[in-house]
Amino acid sequence: MNIEIPILKVEKLSAKKGNYLAIFDVSFELLPGTNTAIVGPNGAGKSTLVQAVLDLIPPTTGNIEIFGRPVTRLGNLCHQLGYVPQHFIFDRSFPISVSELVGLGWVKQGNRERIFSQNLWRRNQEKATDVTSALRRTDAYHLRNQAIGTLSGGQLKRVLLAYCLVMPRKLLILDEAFAGVDVQGTADFYTLLNELKQEEGWTVLQVSHDIDMVSRYCDRVICLNQTIVCTGVPEVALSPQNLLATYGPGLSRYQHNH
Q: What is the pLDDT of residue 2?
A: 55
Taking the C-alpha atoms of residue 133 and residue 31, their distance in angstroms, rounded to an integer, is 27
The CATH class of 8-92+169-247 is: alpha beta
Question: For residue range 208-246, what is the model confidence (pLDDT) as tens digits?
Answer: 988 998 999 999 999 999 999 999 999 999 999 999 999
Taking the C-alpha atoms of residue 79 and residue 109, their distance in angstroms, rounded to an integer, is 9
The predicted model scores a pTM of 0.87
Question: For residue range 5-26, what is the model confidence (pLDDT) as tens digits?
Answer: 899 999 999 999 888 999 999 9
Q: What is the pLDDT of residue 250?
A: 66
Question: For residue range 126-144, what is the model confidence (pLDDT) as tens digits?
Answer: 899 999 999 999 999 999 9
Mean pLDDT computed over 188-196 = 88
DSSP of 188-231, one letter per residue?
A: HHHHHHHHHHHHHT-EEEEE-S-HHHHHHH-SEEEEEESEEEEE
